Amino acid sequence: MKKQLMTTTALVAAGVIASSGVALGASKPKLSLGGWFEGIVGIADQDENAVGNRVGLDVHQDSEVFFKGSVKLDNGISIKTRVELEGQSSNSGDQIDEAYMGIKGKFGEVRIGSEDNAAHLMTTGKMGSWATNVGQNLNFDVGDWIERPPGHRGSTVNRLDLGEGDSEKLTYFTPRFGGFQLGVSYMPSFNEGVNNTPELTTSANHTGYAIAARYDGKWDSVGIGAAVGYAAVNPAAGSDNQSDPKGLAAGLKLTFGKITIAGGYHREMNLGVDNNAGSGATVTNDGQTALDFGIKYDGGKNKFSLGYMTAEHKATVAAGDDEVQAAMLSYRRALGPGVQYRLNFIYGDWEGEDIGSADNNDGYAITTSVRLAF
């Protein structure tokens, strides 16, 4: 049934585009560049017994250059492409982040290529600190300074991603109707960027889908943004998964004048063998439940935000849960068009389920940065 649903969705999307009467563009496609560079200096104090000696004063960077192609056809359909080049190597060694094509018209938008799933894209911007942070990212950057100890399976990353990342997908977004929008993604395989051979069901999770709904509107003077999403996938043949990996995410964002508050819920289940359990370990990964909250004050050139998240990760049934808490207080000042100064106070606390302190760590950090976006 799932395969039939996704196959039908793909065929309908292709039919809509074909029936739109694609014509030659009125002008030649254009190529443009964008991106950012952020230079970060910070100092951290954390439990050395858990993670070993670490540099106190450190220098980080975050940078990316993206290439955008675009053209508008005579019939009004817009076609855009985006390829993102990372300024530093990721943990997976993948230098190209996302690379996809978007085809947009009165029928909505179809995206083809390496991109996040529809549920991820539609819910993340409504969820807690994702919707409110003005400095570094609470989800990604706490672990850059307060290290997750070995064996701890919790994560500060609170978004609907079952491990597919930016693997190739087919995604469709409907037009907006009264503030409502729907989205659906088909994920053939969780392997990314493999184009020289047909995908095998034994090599990775496969044949997955994601669906989501989003609303943006106002009630009197209050801005309302809400979203909910669900994703599921078939496990790789012969894997240790007991059932299909799946996940749910929901977020609510409210804006009162200069104040924005937001909350998010994220749950993932049946993820199979845990790759973070340590070398040679085989631990059932039942997934994580997380809550994320944030508040932002927009004072024009000066912006402030406070974010907090907490999560419990279920692993071995006999032991307890791995728990993580993180918070970030941030300040941002606009120095000019595309130029920002940022200051962050970071807290992280990792409490492991094992006896002793080997999988525990906690600490504080202060970071400051200048970010240039072009």
d(CA 139, CA 147): 13
Using the predicted structure, report yes or no on whether residue 17 has a pLDDT greater than 60: no
Q: Which of 296, 232, 227, 213 is nearest to 265 (CA)?
A: 227
Q: What is the pLDDT of residue 275?
A: 43
Is pLDDT above 50 for 278? no
Q: Which residue has the tokens 């400051």?
A: 368
**C-alpha–C-alpha distance, residues 10 and 15, integer Å:** 9
* Least confident residue range of 12-26, 112-126, 321-335: 12-26
Half-sphere exposure (Cβ direction) of 18: Cα atoms closer than 13 Å: 6
* The pLDDT of residue 92: 54
| 257: region left, alpha or beta (phi > 0 left; psi from -120 to 50 alpha) | left
Partnered with residue 219 across adjacent β-strands are 222
For residue 10, what are the contacts with CB-CB under 8 A and spacing of at least 6? 170, 186
Give yes or no for residue 50 having a pLDDT over 70. Answer: no
Q: Of 190, 314, 310, give the one whose Cα is nearest residue 242.
A: 314
The token duo for 294 is 């944030």
Confidence category of residue 283, pLDDT binned at 50, 70, 90: very low
Which element (helix H / strand E) includes 17? helix 2-18
Q: Report pLDDT for 199.
A: 76
**180/240 Cα distance (integer angstroms):** 39
Residue 285 has a pLDDT of 58
Q: Mean pLDDT, to the nearest integer, of 33-43?
A: 96
pLDDT band at 318 (very low <50, low <70, confident <90, very high): low
Domain ranges of the chain: 2-373
Could you tell me how many residues make up the chain? 374
CATH: 1.10.1370.40, 3.40.980.10, 2.40.160.10, 3.40.718.10. Which one for 2-373? 2.40.160.10
For the ranges 29-43, 96-110, 150-164, the lowest mean pLDDT is seen at 150-164
- Report which of residues 165 and 270 the model is more confident about: 165
Q: How far is CA 260 from CA 137, 180, 298, in A?
A: 17, 20, 8
Residue 176 sits at the vertex; the CA angle it makes with 102 and 295, to the nearest 5 degrees, is 95
Sign of CA dihedral 216, 111, 4, 209: negative
β-strands 78-86, 108-114 pairing: unpaired
Comparing 88-92, 236-240, 241-245, 334-338, which segment has the lowest mean pLDDT?
88-92
Q: Are 84 and 103 in contact (CB under 8 A)?
A: no
Give alpha helix (H) positions in 37-161: 48-51, 118-124, 128-132, 138-145
Q: Which of 207, 79, 61, 201 is nearest to 144 (CA)?
A: 61
Spatial separation of the C-alpha atoms in residues 66 and 98, rounded to whole Å: 9
CA distance 261 to 257: 11
Across all residues in the chain, what is the average pLDDT?
85
Q: How far apart (Å, rounded) are the C-alpha atoms in residues 291 and 248?
A: 12
* Nearest Cα residue to 209 out of 224, 181, 187: 187
**What would the two tokens of residue 262 be?**
């937001």
What letter represents residue 2's amino acid? Answer: K
Binned at pLDDT 50, 70 and 90, residue 347 comes out as very high
Query: What's the confidence (pLDDT) of residue 281?
Result: 43
Residue type, 66: F
Mean pLDDT of 279-300: 78
Check residue 127 and give its pLDDT: 96
Can you give the three-state secondary structure of 141-178, one letter per residue?
Answer: HHHHHCCCCCCCCCCCCCCCCCCCCCCEEEEEECCCEC
pLDDT for the residue numbered 196: 65
Neighbours of 17 (CB within 10 A): 16
Q: Tell me the DSSP string of 312-358.
A: EEE--SSS--EEEEEEEEEEEEEEETTEEEEEEEEEEEEE-SSSSST
Per-residue pLDDT reduced to its tens digit, 123-177: 999 999 999 999 999 999 999 999 888 878 888 998 998 888 888 999 999 999 9
Looking at per-residue confidence, does 360 or 210 come out higher? Answer: 210
Average pLDDT over residues 302-328: 86
Please state, as a whole number, how many other Cβ atoms lie within 10 Å of the Cβ of residue 241. Answer: 18
